[in-house]
Amino acid sequence: MKGGDRMKSLTSNKKGFTLIELLVVLLIIGLLATISVVALGTARAKGRDTRRLTDVKGIQNALELYFVDLNGYPAVASATVLGAPTTTGRLDATGFGVSTGTGTPVYMVKVPANPTPNGADYTYTSTTAAGAACTTGPCASYTLTFNLESGAGGYTTGAHTATPPDVVQ
């Protein structure tokens, strides 16, 4: 064999991937990773919205128990953010209060707060039958506001209100 033939046979027997083949594979992997991250973010938002709807339904059920026992809903001085442990950590016979309240019976041991990130706090406002603010109980009605970030359970994205007897299903 001549020197040139030996070089030719050594280079023609190499096996492996070309740079373009490697770049195509990396591009496909990157594309699949991007699609899965976007889908995961959407699933997480829907999960938080489902949690919000469950929280609101639980709060409304506790408020209905309160209404049955006390012939009205708890009075608050102004729109109140729910779920803050120092102010509205639980719902008992004295209304929304701190988690160490002594009022009995207890209708909700721990009032839920909006899951983070995104969304807005759950807000409770007590109202009279005419829809005016009710600052001394028992109150005839209430408005519970909440936001959904992607929509769930037949509800659209954005702000929603729940009032009796429209318990969120």
Range of the domain at 137: 47-154
In a domain, 148, yes or no: yes
Contact between residue 90 and residue 108 where contact means Cβ atoms under 8 Å apart: yes
Query: What integer pLDDT is reported at residue 53 of this predicted model?
Result: 93
Instruction: Per residue of the chain (169 residues), give pLDDT as tens.
Output: 555 555 555 556 667 889 999 999 999 999 999 888 887 888 889 999 999 999 999 999 999 999 999 999 999 999 999 988 788 889 998 899 887 767 689 999 999 999 988 888 999 999 998 989 999 988 999 999 999 998 888 889 999 999 997 655 4
Residue 81 gets which letter from DSSP? E
Query: What integer pLDDT is reported at residue 1 of this predicted model?
Result: 52
Q: What's the CA gap between 115 and 64, in Å, rounded? A: 23
- Half-sphere exposure in the Cβ direction for 7 (13 Å, CA): 3
Contact between residue 157 and residue 66 where contact means Cβ atoms under 8 Å apart: no
In a domain, 38, yes or no: no
pTM: 0.78
In a domain, 95, yes or no: yes
Query: What integer pLDDT is reported at residue 169 of this predicted model?
Result: 47
User: Residue 107: enclosing H or E segment and its boundaries?
Assistant: strand 106-108
Q: What's the CA gap between 108 and 123, in Å, rounded? A: 16
- Distances from the Cα of 67 to the Cαs of 76, 108, 154, in angstroms? 15, 13, 27
Tally of structural domains, the chain: 1
Query: What integer pLDDT is reported at residue 10 of this predicted model?
Result: 53
In a domain, 150, yes or no: yes
Q: What's the CA gap between 82 and 112, in Å, rounded? A: 7
In a domain, 10, yes or no: no
Range list of β-strands (E), the chain: 80-81, 90-92, 95-97, 106-108, 123-127, 141-148, 158-162
In a domain, 94, yes or no: yes
In a domain, 11, yes or no: no
In a domain, 111, yes or no: yes
